[in-house]
A and B are shown apart, each in its own frame.
Chain A
Amino acid sequence: MGGVTVRLEDVSKYYGSTRAVDGVTLSIPSGTITTLLGPSGCGKTTTLKLIAGLEEPSRGRILFNDRDVTMLPPEKRNIGMVFQDLALFPHMTVFENIAFGLRIRKVPESEIRRRVHDILELVNLDPNLYSSRKPGQLSGGQQQRVALARALVIEPDILLLDEPFAHLDFKIKQRLLLELRRIQRRLGITTIYVTHDQNEAMAVSDKVVIMNNGRIIQEGPPDQVYENPANTFVATFYGDSNLIEGSRLGVDGLVAIRPEKIMINPRNHADIVYDGVIEDVIFQGPILRLEVRINGLTLKLIHPRGNGFTPRPGDRVRVGWRLSDMKVLRE
């Protein structure tokens, strides 16, 4: 397992005149989790299916390490894949679902029993309790674990996950994301994770690849992309940003500033300071979301709660930020 680098070289997929994936060149380092992040229809799932071999590219090459797999069918690629709807076989038990890939590989039955047992323990499902159940008798989170176990048990070179947690409750999703990280690190398997949820992407990835309209917009470690959004799309889709016309601040183009970078009543930490009026206050547990109006512009702010600071709509405040927290956008 692990050790496999995935490379896409100028890969495109057209459906008639629609360009689902448009000239994607991408390198996915071995043993890491890379997230393909973007809104629905951005081409992330198609890219994943191209890597899986479930779709054939219209143009370009796909390489696993240095082996060209572009024309290889999925059953010859040794991949593990978890689908958005999980795609567990409804007529088979948990055991049979997980054993499916091993039986095709003609693994001896005693070894199958051992490996299914071990993989169920890895994904935190009690083998004695769940082996003989049908998928329909499991909760959403348990089905998720079975799907992951079925993908991993064949010891794939690459693990592909297509929005696997999309239909789960927030809390279960958080827990499974952490477990996925733990399992991935332990196995060191090259993992590609598709999601439209920026929070999932930030929580789970070593590298995020942000896509829109079939193209890669920006890629890099999650925090670096967050700190340095390349354009308006990344600044507003990956986290939230205030967009300010550069002319107001004496620069060319558009300027983005993250809500948490704007300080309220800064003493002398801020380089730019405005007087404003609070328009709205939204309580969100440990933090408050504020909207502050400064001459003709409404700014979004995030401020920690407490410290005797209890803002109300209509209050006059002074807001400010550092020059270094402003990002000038390309477009």
Chain B
Amino acid sequence: MNKLHLAALPLILFLLAFFYAPLAVLAYYSIIEEDGGYGLDNYIELFRDPAYLKVVLYSVAIAGQTTLATLLLSLPAAYYIAIHSRGPEKAALLVAMITPFWIDFLLRALAIKNIMYLLDLREGYASMMAGMVYDYLPYMFLPVYASLSGIRESLLQAARALGAGPLHIATKIILPLALPGIVAGSILVFLMSMTEYVIPALLGGTQGFTIGTLIYYLFLSGDKWGQGSALTLLITTTLLIATLILSRRRTIQ
């Protein structure tokens, strides 16, 4: 036995105190029923009331749209910067892509709100999607850029010499080689945006009723701690299992 496992201890204690212990408390709350006894009523209610399912599906849809929008924006830009730009231009473009994300996202969300007001757009679907895309762009851009920057120019030249036109090069060389980055970025953005709270609450208005805002209301407005806890646990567990499956499949490959 070596004692190196002690090196991980401080972080484990930190997470224990601020994440896992509260999660255990949530688990406890989730099995307290309205009459004060213990049982699975809160979980059953989640499945019985179709309103909950509707909110979950709506969140999945928003997360899916966020993932798709960030991918469609990132892919062409990352392709241009990684493969066709070089020297000072490349450095300038990369800095320009990353700089916005040094600023706290809450401030950026508020800025979007003001810009939308200037455009005469109030809180709602458009504002919320603008905020979501803005917030999650780097989590898509960076992995996609990383996988594309591994493509040497000579690979594309070799494909051209063999007779490949732009369409062949895009579908047979660039996309397959960018796929690991696309998959990694999509998983990251989808899972994170699914449980996003601040953006829908701040920018979503009546359209902002996602899982995050629902949990918030169950705890702080609706005074339904039991169902709030049950919902939180259910979503966390689902995402955990999804992450495990996806990461295992990726290591196998």
Contact = CB atoms under 8 A, between A and B. Distances in A.
A145 interface: no
B113 to A, nearest CB: 44
Interface string A59-95: 0000000000000011110111101110111110000
Given A75-B165, A100-B172, A87 B160 contact: no
B152 A85 contact: yes
A54 interface: yes
B154 A85 contact: yes
A172 B34 CA distance: 80
B153 to A, nearest CB: 9
A74 B156 CA distance: 11
B159 A100 contact: yes
A154 B160 contact: no
A142 to B, nearest CB: 17
Interface string B163-192: 111001000110011000000000000000
Contacts, number: 58
B157 interface: yes
Interface in B98-154: 152, 154
A75 B163 contact: yes
Nearest to B162: A101
Contacts of B176: 91
Nearest to B180: A91
Contacts of B164: 75, 100, 104
Given A54-B157, A74-B157, A85-B152, A90 B163 contact: no
Nearest to B173: A89
A227 B9 CA distance: 75
B252 interface: no
Q: Which of B161, B164, B168, B176 has the most CB of A within 10 A?
A: B161
B177 A81 contact: no
A83 B158 CA distance: 8
A286 B152 CA distance: 43
Contacts of A75: 160-165
Interface SS majority for chain B = helix
Interface string A152-173: 0010000010000000000000
Interface in A110-132: none
B163 A101 contact: yes
Given A83-B154, A85-B152, A89-B173, A52 B161 contact: yes
Contacts of A105: 163
A258 interface: no
A81 B158 contact: yes
Contacts of B157: 52, 54, 74, 81, 83, 87
Contacts of B160: 54, 73-75
Nearest to A85: B154
A80 B158 CA distance: 9
A87 B163 contact: no
Contacts of A151: 161
Nearest to A147: B158
Contact of B168 (A76, A87, A104, A160): A104
Q: Which of A79, A83, A150 has the most CB of B within 10 A?
A: A83
A80 B161 contact: yes
Given A75-B163, A80-B161, A104-B163, A91 B177 contact: yes
Contacts of A85: 152, 154
Contacts of B161: 52, 54, 74-75, 79-81, 151, 160
B175 to A, nearest CB: 10
B155 interface: yes
Nearest to A98: B162
Contacts of B168: 104
Contacts of A101: 162-163
Interface in A190-209: none
19 contacts: A52-B157, A54-B157, A73-B160, A74-B157, A74-B160, A75-B160, A76-B163, A79-B161, A84-B154, A87-B158, A89-B158, A91-B177, A100-B162, A100-B164, A101-B162, A104-B162, A150-B162, A151-B161, A154-B163
Given A74-B161, A87-B155, A151-B161, 11 more contacts: A52-B161, A74-B160, A75-B162, A75-B165, A83-B158, A89-B159, A89-B173, A90-B177, A91-B176, A101-B162, A101-B163
Interface of A: 52, 54, 73-76, 78-81, 83-85, 87-91, 100-101, 104-105, 150-151, 154, 160
Going nearest first, the 5 A-B pairs with the smallest beta carbon separation are: A101-B162, A87-B158, A87-B154, A81-B161, A74-B160
